[in-house]
Structure formats: C-alpha cells, structure tokens
Amino acid sequence: MSEHDNDRSSGGYHHHHYNDAKHQQLSQYYKQNTGYNKPLTSDTGKKISNDNWSLRAGQRGPTLFEDHHFYKKQSHFNRERIPEKVVHARGDGAYGEFELYKSMRHVTRAHFLQEPGTKTPVFTRFSNFIGSKGSKDTAIDIRGFATKFYTQEGNYDMLSLSFAIFSIMDAMKFPDFVHAVKPNPKTGVPQATVAHEHAWDYVANNQEIAHFIMWLMSERGRPRSWRMMEGWPVNTFRFINDRGQSTFVRFVWKPVLGVHSLMLDEANIIGGVDPDFHRRDLHEAIECGAYPEYELGVQMIPEGEEYNYNFDILDDTKLWPEDVIPVEIIGKMTLNRLVENHFAEEEQSSFDPSTLVPGINFTNDPVLQGRSFAYRDTDYHRLGTGNINNIPVNQPIAEANTNQQDSYVRHQIDVDDVNYKDNQLAGNTPYVTPPEQGGFSHYPEQVQGYKTRERPGPSFYDFFSQARLFWNSMTHVEKQHIIETFIFHLSYVPTKGIRQQVVDMFASVDQGMAAAIADGTGVNPPEGSHVPVYDSSPGLSEANTPHYAYTQKVGVLINDGFHGEEVRHTLDTLKQNGVFMDVISDHLGTIVGSDGTAIEVNKTFTSTYPVLYDSLYVVGGRPRHSEASFRYDVMDFLHSAYKHYKPIGLATTGQHFLRPTHENNLSGVVFAASNPDFAHDFVHAIACQRFWDRT
C-alpha cells in the first residue's frame, strides 16, 4: 500500500560529523593550492613571475621554445583527459557509511557482516550505462550503482544496477549488446539512447533481452533521483560461513524514500534544460544534510535447494520474485559526504565484482564469470597503470602487502629488497593466511562435465515468462507508460520490418500491449499471443513504494504583494517537512509581501523550467514589468505541472490561475482560500507525488 507519511522529516535535516578511517586516509592526499602565502610555482616548486605572456623574441616577435613554463603548462593540459569508461561513463559519487542491523554470521564470515552496529566506510558511484561522460543524466537508460566497502578485511566492491535483471545470459554477448546500443559507428549518433535502429535490430534478434527491455521501457528506466532508485547486483553470489557452508545470495539496495520516476517527456526535456539533474539533486541533498539512505536486503537460497524454482539461479535475466524468496533487510547505507575533486575521486574510482572479501564468493552464473575478468582489464587500459589501488579513492583501509612491483606512476616507494615468494631472506613474508585464519578461499564446489558451449539449463530458453510477470505486476497507468515508451523508441526505427519483428516478439509478453504498440508504430497487429503466466509480484510496481514529502522539490511562483502571513506560514511548514524549494519570479532579488515580509528569489522564469519541480506553489502577486508576461510564465508552469499530474497549491493571491471547469477534476490541487489547514493539506498532496486520476 502507498504510505503517505510526512513524519519522517519532522525533525528537519540531520547533520552528521564524520571522521571515519577512509576520510582520515584521504585527508593525507588533500592539496590546497590557493590561499594566504601561496605563490604560483612550477610543478617542481620554482616561483613563477609571469603567467600571462609567453617569452618572445622581441615585443612583436615569435614565441621562444625556451619558454619552458609555457610549454609545460600547455603540455600538461594536453594530457588532462583519460579514456572514459567504456560503459557507465557518466557518473558521480559520494562517500558514506554502511551500518549493519543484524549479524549474518550464520551464513557468512565476512567481517563487516558480523556484529550489529558495525559501521563500514563506503564510496558509491552512480552512473548511466549508454551515454558518454558528457551526456545527460535523465537518459532513458539503466543505471549503475557501485559501492566500495572499505572493510577491515580489504575492499569489497558491490556493483549494482537499477534493474533486478540484465540483458544477456552470457558475458560473451556483452560487446555485441553494448555496440548495438551505443551510437552508430558510421555517424556517431545518437547519444545516450536506445531510440535508434541498431538497438531494436539487436533486441528483435537477441530475444533473451525481453525482460530487460520491459524494465527499460517502464518507469524504472527514468528515475526521479538516484536517491529514489533501487540497486541490484543482479548476479547470484555465495555467502560462505566459518564452517565453509555456502548459501546462494542475491542482494538489493532499497531506497528509504521509495522508488520514484520521471515521466517520459519530463526525462526528455530535462536532458536538455538540466543535463546534470541527478548529480545536482545528489549534491543538493547531501549539502543540506538530507542524506540519501538505502537499506541492504538479501535473498538467500541454501545450497542444495537451488533446483526448487522455475527459474535457474545462474540466469541473470531472471529475478527472484520477492514473494517467493523474501528480502531480508540487514543494514543501511547513508551517503553523507561529497567528493573534494571529481576527477581524482569519481573518475579515478575503479570497481570490480571480483574485489571480494572472505565470506563472499562467486557462483557459476556465466555473466558473473565473464565480469570477473572484464573490469580490472578495462581499468588497466583506462587508468593506464597496474597501480589502480594506489589511487587514493581505491586504496583499502586494510593494510595491503603485495609482491606487485613498478608500472606507471608508482607512488608508493617499496623499500624491501625481497619481492618474491617463497623466500628465506625475508622470513618468507609477506606470508599467506590459511582460510581458517582469514585468508580468502574459493568455495570448493564440485564440478564435472565435458567442455561445452551449451546453455546451462532449459530455462535459459525461456525469455518471456518473467517479462510477463513484470507486465502483470504493473498498474494500468504503468502499463500505458510502457506502451508509450515503446512507441516513442520505435518511432526512431525507420525499417518497418524491425518494428514488426519487435511487435511480434513482445506479443509473447502481452498480446494487447503488442497490438497497441503495433497501432502506434504503423505495423500489423501481432500474430502470436503471450505465454501463459498469470502471477504478479506487487513489489515491482512503483505504486507500492513509500511516498514522502521529504526532499520533494517545490517551485514557488511569486511576486511582490503576496499575502505575508499566509505565505510565511506555508513556507515554514514546507521547510519543517524537509521540502526543497526554489523561489521563482520575473526578477532575481528581494520581493516584498503585503505586510513587509521579504523573500529572496533564487530563480527566474528564464533560468528554470517547470519539469524541474515535483510540485508548484502558485502565489502570484504584482509583476515588476509586464502583467501579461508574468501571467504567461505562471500559466506555462501550471500547464506543465498539471499535465504531469503533480501536486499544486494555490495561495489566495494565486487562485485565479486555475479554475474548476466541466473538463477537469482538479485532483491534487489544493486551495488556500478559506482553508486554515492549507499548509498541511499541501504537504500531504506533495507526499502523494502524482495524481494519476486527474482529468
């Protein structure tokens, strides 16, 4: 059930003092170049006397090669860029901590999962999958959600995606899938989208992707915020306890604020008017102490029970329905600190699913097996060195002693003269640690068989059952959005035969859905019908997620002459409920109410857009310049918010902007006129977020 609860914010934002082991370690590397008594120098420490004019032979003469300050300044600059990540290029991250709620000792010996209350420093990087580093945050795309736990027993990287499932059944297909969704190799377009022919040619001819496409076409493909998005490591891992027993496990991050999304055209428009929408949102939240929080859940299947299900636990195109295998919440991550330097910490961060700790192991999931090689390999190329874990963000807080040597830019100065194993000269150190004493070991799973390229089991041929389970779990509104999103994307596919193939393929998910897509995209109705799956999994629908007013963003449309007491009370109530606000008018500066109340304006109608707000508070007032243009601007915002089903509050001075007619039902519109509870009612509406019954 939807939970419209504003109470969690009643204390306002929480502030927090951090001084964890990772922060202390990073502090050693902070370098300040500006400030009192800071002369400009070369990188070798020589003071510079002129940083504006190059050294020339004569006042109007050519620059001299001898101007080493000029050429070093230029040549260092020329080398600033490194290759962007081959996928997940666009991202941003923050530090924080993970706190364990309950001991998982019975299933795993992982140190950070033993004692309730244990806090582990973390760094989390959110990313888009398809687009380049310079693309847009709100692309219709799957997101990455990669967390590095700096545990006492070494780093543990948990790489999640915003979907519970992935697009391929074997890592072999990854380059094909990525090539197909990335820009056309000939033209280099389009950027950060699957609205193009290659993507759908791939889909139609690699039908194991059906379930993934259902998620991508749904609300899940366009999160409102990284703070309101789930994270799924997708692949099946193993927990290993101190008796060596194994339990299959899938993890999930559940955002405390619930899972919420943008509408298709909002996401498309925001991509242009604020390409940094998600990173701006993360910064805003952390800077004011509204720290993003995610609870960690586990789904577990004991070794020996892996064949009890109608899906294969090694198949990452299938999820483990929460109704069948419950999610057990075991802890919470709080992100409370932004990076100091985007390149040094975010761009140089390196994640790798094989960065494991004792107590967590791989399974034979064929995608996971391929991933164990891919990440370190790509980072050798991208970061250009073997010394990836010398980079401060990647350094463990646990002591690392290796026999690895040299490579580009080795910062650490290894002072030993013995660098091999086994040895006598260094007392055979660094020594190996047996598993019983905390050394990492691989689960001694028994394997036998012929070398083969066969599928691991018959359910690896079932592409549609869970895609239909997903469809069955959607509300009517969510189903309509899926159909629209298909039509939007297929409208960018000129070859009719591909559109037809896609429609025929998705008839296996739902006949009616495919017929509606056919209708919208000018192809024949599908011939086949869907697979006979009747169950649903309610947790997959965003209708069943918590809803809060906390951190929802309100645009306040206001001008001079507003009703001072009414507006002050409303804004105070919004603030007490942790609602974010922009005050928008036709000019920056201060505006003054009827009783002399002054309010600072931080956005103008020309510098912001209605799609950037979750709801509007329409106050109105006396325009500074033109009555007509103020009215048009307010009406533009109102139209957009109204059509996107957003909550709208109208002050007594603003009520004339929106009137009941025989065509509208004004659901989610709250009037202040003769309503002493307006502020409270408006906060309640903000918590509801969308009013889908609006006409």
Binding site for ligand HEM (CB under 6 A): 85-88, 91, 125, 127, 144, 146, 159-161, 166, 171, 174, 233-235, 316, 349-351, 367, 370-371, 374-375, 378-379, 382
Residue 694 CB, shortest distance to ligand HEM, in Å, is 36
How much of the chain is in helix, strand and coil states, percent to nearest 5? 30, 20, 50
Choice between 320 and 609, CB closer to ligand HEM: 320
Residue 494 CB, shortest distance to ligand HEM, in Å, is 30
Choice between 328 and 377, CB closer to ligand HEM: 377
Choice between 393 and 599, CB closer to ligand HEM: 393
Choice between 127 and 541, CB closer to ligand HEM: 127
Residue 465 CB, shortest distance to ligand HEM, in Å, is 19
Residue 161 CB, shortest distance to ligand HEM, in Å, is 4
Residue 88 CB, shortest distance to ligand HEM, in Å, is 4
Report which residue type is found at 223: P
Q: How far apart are alpha carbons 552 and 577 in whole angstroms?
A: 10
Q: Is 4 helix (H, G, I), strand (E, B) or coil?
A: strand
Q: DSSP class of residue 114? A: S
Q: How far apart are alpha carbons 352 and 148 in whole angstroms?
A: 9
Residue 370 CB, shortest distance to ligand HEM, in Å, is 4
Choice between 109 and 143, CB closer to ligand HEM: 143
Q: How far apart are alpha carbons 226 and 260 in whole angstroms?
A: 9
Burial class from Cβ neighbours inside 10 Å (0-12, 13-18, 19+) for residue 103 reads middle
Residue 367 CB, shortest distance to ligand HEM, in Å, is 5
Whether residue 48 contacts residue 42, with contact meaning beta carbons closer than 8 Å, is answered with yes
Element housing 74 (H / E): helix 68-78
Provide φ and ψ at 301, rounded to 5°: -130, 120
Element housing 373 (H / E): helix 366-383
Choice between 206 and 378, CB closer to ligand HEM: 378
Residue 566 CB, shortest distance to ligand HEM, in Å, is 47
Residue 251 CB, shortest distance to ligand HEM, in Å, is 10
In terms of phi and psi (left: phi > 0; alpha: psi -120 to 50; beta: otherwise), the region of 438 is left
Choice between 183 and 366, CB closer to ligand HEM: 366
Provide φ and ψ at 669, rounded to 5°: -105, 125
Residue 412 CB, shortest distance to ligand HEM, in Å, is 22
* Burial state string for 486-513 with b = 16 or more CB within 10 A and e = fewer than 16: bbbbbeebeeeebbbbbbbbbbbbbbeb
The rounded Cα 113 to chain-centroid distance in angstroms is 24
Choice between 378 and 573, CB closer to ligand HEM: 378
Residue 317 CB, shortest distance to ligand HEM, in Å, is 9
Q: How far apart are alpha carbons 675 and 682 in whole angstroms?
A: 11
Whether residue 212 contacts residue 126, with contact meaning beta carbons closer than 8 Å, is answered with no
Q: DSSP class of residue 681? A: H
Report which residue type is found at 180: A
Whether residue 587 contacts residue 648, with contact meaning beta carbons closer than 8 Å, is answered with no
Q: How far apart are alpha carbons 455 and 466 in whole angstroms?
A: 18
Choice between 91 and 358, CB closer to ligand HEM: 91
Choice between 144 and 223, CB closer to ligand HEM: 144
Tallying the residues shown for the chain, one arrives at 695
Burial class from Cβ neighbours inside 10 Å (0-12, 13-18, 19+) for residue 659 reads exposed
Contacts of 544 (CB under 8 A, 6+ apart): 1, 2, 538
Q: Which residues pair with 546 in a beta bridge?
A: 3
Choice between 174 and 682, CB closer to ligand HEM: 174
Residue 71 CB, shortest distance to ligand HEM, in Å, is 32
Q: How far apart are alpha carbons 634 and 657 in whole angstroms?
A: 8
Choice between 370 and 525, CB closer to ligand HEM: 370
What is the number of the residue whose Cβ is closest to ligand HEM? 144
Choice between 203 and 638, CB closer to ligand HEM: 203
Residue 152 CB, shortest distance to ligand HEM, in Å, is 23
First to last CA, the chain: 23
Provide φ and ψ at 361, rounded to 5°: -135, 165
